[in-house]
Structure 1
Amino acid sequence: MASSYLRNSEPGRRLSQKEIADKVGVSISTVSRALSDKPSTLSEELKQKVKSAAEELFRQKTMFGDGKKLEHIGLFIGASSAPFAFVVDPFYGDILLGIEGECKKQGFHLSFTTIDRGQDDPAFIFEKIKQTNIDGAIFLAVDNRRLLEEVVESGLPSVLVNARHPGLPIDTFLPNNHDGAALAVQHLLQKGHKRILYIVDLHRATIRSRYEAYQTTLEQAGLFDPTLVLRTTTGKEEVIIQQFFQGPKPDFTAIFCTNDVTALQTIKVLHEFKLRVPEDYSIVGFDDLSVVNLIDPPLTTVRVERQQLGARAVRGLIDRVALPNTATETVELACQLIERKSVKII
């Protein structure tokens, strides 16, 4: 968005090339060439330095049309990521750390509202917005589309984190769940595994993207078997996994778990049945929570840069306030396979 700050900004929010040049320590002509779409002899490193300076300076000037600064951000936390989940699943706690850290860096005040089940009525949320007098909002793992539609309609600058609502005009920041899951399945295939059990709770769209990648990757290899999908329910994962291993089950050599918490629950159940990882079953998780490197064996998993995701959402909200009329965007952060000791070659 850096060049847009010069072309499209309203008076009072527009940056001059001289301001950018002074910050970077280069000439105005260098700034002009760095922000231009035309080919130039400038190095990519210098271009990026100029663009980053432009973005930083512009955020410092971020205002609404009435001159009110973006000072107070409201974080609305969906029921699936409510405070209890921060204890059970550090995934959301790490996103929160990223949001808090970036707000502190930018000098913003941050307030929290938990949207408990049954409290996601738009009237309740708008009353909270009125009470807290926020300038912009971040919605974390909010799946109520009607609520978000009304937020968008209200004009409150907002962004969405770790949720998916196709067609909804709101800036969205989430991991690349599809490609991350494909990495996990491809890794197991490369290790010789052809029968891969997938343990998943499909109630959220973000997780369904992981399932779609699992299915597509195995279909392309001619190996997809719907009997190898074990569907769980939130809060009952361990019980369902126990029941699965107690009864007759299809043959498989590897297990892909939809997240690391499910992987840890699965390993616990395997231990109860005197089954070993990876000798009896190989396991891959998703998220790369800090604890999975401490278990025996350390878990192979897919890393999600959770703090980066939270920080990126705050910067996205700043950009949305600065340029309210630009097209909304969906940013999917790349995931990385982290190979440890929970998968064997067969």
Structure 2
Amino acid sequence: MKKKVTMQDIADRLNISKNSVSQALSGKPGVSEETRMLIQKAADELGYNYLNNRNNQKPNEKKGINIALIASDYAFSLKSFFGEIYLSVEKEMRTRGWNLLIESIDQDSKDKLILPSLLSNHQIDGILILSHISTDYISKIINTGIPTVMIDHHSPYLQADAILTNNRFGAYKAVEHLIQLGHQNIAFVGDIEVSPSYQERLEGYMLALKKHGIEPSQPLLFTDAKENQEEISGFVDRLSYMPTAWFCVNDGHGFLVQSVLQQKGFNIPQDISICSFDNGQLSQIATPKITTVNIDLNYYGKKATEQLSWRLNHKDEPIHEILLPTTLIVRESTAVNK
């Protein structure tokens, strides 16, 4: 009868303590990655029978492909935008028979660069990062070596695949729509420090003005606009003259701008036209409904999953940044400038 292989047999073979073997095989911290790999290799060679407290599965023997979806608490709270992307990712995972594990990163973990424990126990095959957390935090995730795809975020300091909206072209088309309606004085509203997407939308705004020979007016650029009514109202009150159109970096800003202007007695779109970005719920419930730029959020999940699948099999290939197209949805908030 074949002798049962024990942890002590593995320890004796590698000339290390039994405790180190136990820590490595149970996925607990306390041993280096190199030692952990040596222990696992020795265990396999000796025919060690892994037992897990919850089942008879090897700690590192996965059932299928495990993918972690990681985002900040803030991103997960934006259900009308990132929630739809999450649902599309979940659908794609089910279609492929992959397992999806969700990790929400709170402020303390972000500040202290504490990664989710599931990334260190060899259970995760790939990672999707939804939106921005912090450059240092995302860098630490990427440095685990687990194939990673970022969704709606990129940075020159982050070397990982990214699925992105073509923000520049989307904004360009939106502002050009306003120009074609006869508008020359077009305000920009949004906090460009919040996301690279907002900075790119400002660049699209500038490109459209340049293309049509319009000099941007500094007083009309509200590039650090927080998404609250009081701040928007204060900006409107400080203007020396009223622009005939406003391009807003997202639907939240668009809704607030429209509301503030209406409260101050302006008619939309007879007096002023409003255009925003994202085609979220606020653009659809506003009165009048707001002209906006649509992003296919379902397609985000599909492309992110496809790219991660490709990356799992092409780990040494150069990184890819994939731009998804946008479409302009013209509604009642924009009209010819009379």
TM-score range, shorter chain: 0.7 to 0.9
Q: Is the 8 A contact 1:73 1:108 kept in 2?
A: yes
Q: CA deviation at 1:67?
A: 9.1
- Residue 162 of structure 1: aligned partner: 152
- Residue 193 of structure 1: aligned partner: 183
Q: CA deviation at 1:182?
A: 0.5
Q: Is the 8 A contact 2:113 2:136 kept in 1?
A: no
Query: What are the within-5 Å matches in structure 2 for residues 82-231 of structure 1?
Result: 82-83=76-77, 85-86=78-79, 90-121=80-111, 123-130=113-120, 133-166=123-156, 168-203=158-193, 204-220=195-211, 221-231=213-223
Query: What are the within-5 Å matches in structure 2 for residues 216-295 of structure 1?
Result: 216-220=207-211, 221-234=213-226, 236-295=227-286
Unmatched tracts of structure 2, length 5 or more: 1-59
Give the 3-state SS of the residue equivalent to 1:307 in structure 2.
Answer: helix
Q: CA deviation at 1:224?
A: 0.9
Deviates most, 326-335 or 70-79: 70-79
Q: CA deviation at 1:233?
A: 4.7
Give the 3-state SS of the residue equivalent to 1:149 in structure 2.
Answer: helix
Q: Is the 8 A contact 2:76 2:83 kept in 1?
A: no
The amino acid of 1:292's aligned partner reads S
The amino acid of 2:207's aligned partner reads T
The amino acid of 2:178's aligned partner reads L
> Could you list the per-position Cα deviations for residues 101-147 of structure 1 after superposition, in whole angstroms to 9, with x for gaps in the alignment?
11121122222222223422575115352369322111111242222
> Could you list the per-position Cα deviations for residues 143-185 of structure 1 after superposition, in whole angstroms to 9, with x for gaps in the alignment?
4222222322221111101112125321100100111111111
- Residue 62 of structure 1: aligned partner: none
Q: Is the 8 A contact 2:255 2:282 kept in 1?
A: no
Q: Is the 8 A contact 2:64 2:97 kept in 1?
A: no
Do the aligned partners of residues 253 and 109 (structure 1) sit closer, same or farther apart at CA in structure 2, a change above 3 Å counting?
same
Give the 3-state SS of the residue equivalent to 1:119 in structure 2.
Answer: helix
The amino acid of 1:216's aligned partner reads L
Counterparts of 1:67 and 1:110, CA distance in 2? 16
Q: Tell me which of 302, 305, 308 is aligned to 1:314.
A: 305
Q: Is the 8 A contact 2:189 2:225 kept in 1?
A: no
RMSD: 2.3
Q: Tell me which of 68, 72, 78 is aligned to 2:72.
A: 78
The amino acid of 2:68's aligned partner reads G
Counterparts of 1:341 and 1:197, CA distance in 2? 18
Counterparts of 2:313 and 2:174, CA distance in 1? 38
Do the aligned partners of residues 320 and 67 (structure 1) sit closer, same or farther apart at CA in structure 2, a change above 3 Å counting?
farther
Do the aligned partners of residues 303 and 116 (structure 1) sit closer, same or farther apart at CA in structure 2, a change above 3 Å counting?
same
Give the 3-state SS of the residue equivalent to 1:182 in structure 2.
Answer: helix
> Could you list the per-position Cα deviations for residues 26-68 of structure 1 after superposition, in whole angstroms to 9, with x for gaps in the alignment?
xxxxxxxxxxxxxxxxxxxxxxxxxxxxxxxxxxxxxxxx996
Q: Is the 8 A contact 1:76 1:115 kept in 2?
A: yes
Do the aligned partners of residues 199 and 331 (structure 1) sit closer, same or farther apart at CA in structure 2, a change above 3 Å counting?
same
Q: CA deviation at 1:231?
A: 3.1
Q: How high is the sequence identity, in percent, across the aligned residues?
A: 26
Q: Is the 8 A contact 2:250 2:278 kept in 1?
A: yes
Q: Which has the larger radius of gyration?
A: 2
Q: Is the 8 A contact 1:163 1:206 kept in 2?
A: yes
Do the aligned partners of residues 68 and 292 (structure 1) sit closer, same or farther apart at CA in structure 2, a change above 3 Å counting?
same
TM-score (norm 1): 0.74
Do the aligned partners of residues 104 and 122 (structure 1) sit closer, same or farther apart at CA in structure 2, a change above 3 Å counting?
farther
Give the 3-state SS of the residue equivalent to 2:149 in structure 1.
Answer: strand
Q: CA deviation at 1:295?
A: 3.1
Counterparts of 2:319 and 2:61, CA distance in 1? 23
The amino acid of 1:113's aligned partner reads E
Counterparts of 1:335 and 1:70, CA distance in 2? 34
The amino acid of 1:213's aligned partner reads G
Q: Which has the higher contact order (CA 8 A, sep 6+)?
A: 1
Give the 3-state SS of the residue equivalent to 1:277 in structure 2.
Answer: coil
The amino acid of 2:261's aligned partner reads L
Give the 3-state SS of the residue equivalent to 2:312 in structure 1.
Answer: helix
Q: Is the 8 A contact 1:260 1:286 kept in 2?
A: yes
Q: CA deviation at 1:191?
A: 0.6
TM-score (norm 2): 0.75
